[in-house]
Structure 1
Amino acid sequence: MEYSREALIEAVSAQMPDKRWKHTLGVMESAVKLAGRYGADPGRAETAAIMHDVAKYWAVERMRKIIEENALSQELLSHDKQLWHAEVGAFVAEKEYGIHDLEVLDAIRYHTSGREGMGLLEKVVCLADYIEPGRDFPGVDEIRKLAKVSLEQGLVEGFDSTIRVLLEKRRIVFPLTVLARNDLVRALEEKR
């Protein structure tokens, strides 16, 4: 069954606290703006933004079960549970909400980690998640500033910020994030 925009909003907003829904509204707004600036489809960006945190507040065991039973990325299970909701969210977007657009699904799937070879829509949603108006963390203003110049520069700064925090806390850095960051740096160097 395919959902209308309004039905998606109603279904997703019901699965999270008001504060997280406010964040989602900010990601939707930022994704549409970035899509317009960089040539992505604003409607598809908005759909991915609506869905990006659909599983964020699900029980860990519920997410684990979905990952294990549906042959999703098993590597995730050995990393921070905060990453799981993206993979599970993409699965749920397709199976329960009728979203079959692979680019939208990948934008949901990789919004927390990034990956090598990110597509335009993936970059838009990932960066929108970093810069939405409600975000307030050290360095977010620099990421916002760079987002006005280049998706890639904004994302590199965002990934650098995430990696820095994880290193300071002596936490494991998810390999896809490092690979995504390095891939973007390479692409920027090739443009020079």
Structure 2
Amino acid sequence: MIHKIEQKLKEMLDEKRYIHSKNVLKAAIELGKNFNFDLEKIKIAALLHDCAKNLRDDELLIKAYKYGIIVDEIQKIQPFLLHGPVGAYLSKFEFGIDDEDIFNAIYYHTTGRKDMTIFEEIIYLADFISIDRNFEGVEEIRKKAFENFEEALLMSCNSTLTYVINRNLPIHPLTIEFRNWLLMKGGK
């Protein structure tokens, strides 16, 4: 199964994005070991999380409408945010993955959301800390991910918000809800 996914991803993604997906796979396996999850499911979600990333904005919007995804105002002006939701549907219809955990992990890996499952959080954080990421503060978040998972999630969310604010872009409401939920459940 994993080999087939990798082969198809090589056709769908450019080399940089494919390498990123493989790096997220490695990070997700390491994080997943701490939670006794089915590593096969984690591998599938990690590999497929960005399967729609190389689609153009117009393609993302077309596929979103095709799959019945409700496109909000922020996604209309920032269609790249749709690569998670569209990717979740691609995992289902193009890769034959019919698993709610994997679907949701792919769907929300960019924005986050309140009430995320630990499985979803693993994919979210693995994407953030993969070894190919090199932004300011990532080393600290990588270290924290294995010391205090919840705090690392909050740090990653804060980093995302800082990035978006510094670029004067609108913040997706799911990301705000995710951060508030993390704070309320004790993420520090």
Q: Which runs of 4+ in 1 moved over 6 A?
A: none
1:140 and 2:138 aligned: yes
Deviation at 1:78, TM superposition (A): 2.8
Tell me the number of residue pairs that the alignment of Structure 1 and Structure 2 aligns. 187
1:79-158 matched pairs, under 5 angstroms: 79-158=77-156
CA–CA distance in structure 2, aligned partners of residues 95 and 129 of structure 1? 23
Q: Given the alignment, which residue of 52, 57, 64 partners 2:54?
A: 57
Q: Given the alignment, which residue of 64, 69, 74 partners 1:72?
A: 69
Structure 2 letter corresponding to 1:184: L
Q: Secondary structure at 2:140's aligned position in 1? A: helix
Partner of residue 6, structure 1: 3
Structure 2 letter corresponding to 1:15: M
CA–CA distance in structure 1, aligned partners of residues 85 and 129 of structure 2? 21
Contact 1:107 1:122 in 2 (8 A): yes
Partner of residue 43, structure 1: 40
Q: Given the alignment, which residue of 163, 168, 174 partners 2:166?
A: 168
Structure 1 letter corresponding to 2:39: P
> Which string of whole-angstrom CA distances, capped at 9 and with x for unpartnered residues, describes residues 82-104 of structure 1?
21111000011111211111001
Distance 1:39 1:150, change over 3 A: farther
Q: Secondary structure at 1:38's aligned position in 2? A: coil
- Sequence identity (%): 29
> Which string of whole-angstrom CA distances, capped at 9 and with x for unpartnered residues, describes residues 102-160 of structure 1?
00110000110100000011000000001111110011011112101232211110010
CA–CA distance in structure 1, aligned partners of residues 180 and 140 of structure 2? 19
Q: Secondary structure at 1:74's aligned position in 2? A: coil
CA–CA distance in structure 2, aligned partners of residues 77 and 168 of structure 1? 19
CA–CA distance in structure 2, aligned partners of residues 67 and 151 of structure 1? 32
Structure 2 letter corresponding to 1:101: D
Deviation at 1:80, TM superposition (A): 1.7
Structure 1 letter corresponding to 2:122: V
Unaligned runs of at least 5 residues, structure 2: none
CA–CA distance in structure 2, aligned partners of residues 16 and 73 of structure 1? 25
CA–CA distance in structure 2, aligned partners of residues 73 and 151 of structure 1? 31
Distance 1:79 1:44, change over 3 A: farther
Unaligned runs of at least 5 residues, structure 1: none
Deviation at 1:63, TM superposition (A): 1.4
1:20 and 2:22 aligned: no
TM-score (normalised: structure 2): 0.94
Contact 1:35 1:124 in 2 (8 A): yes
Alpha-carbon RMSD across the aligned residues, in angstroms, is: 1.4
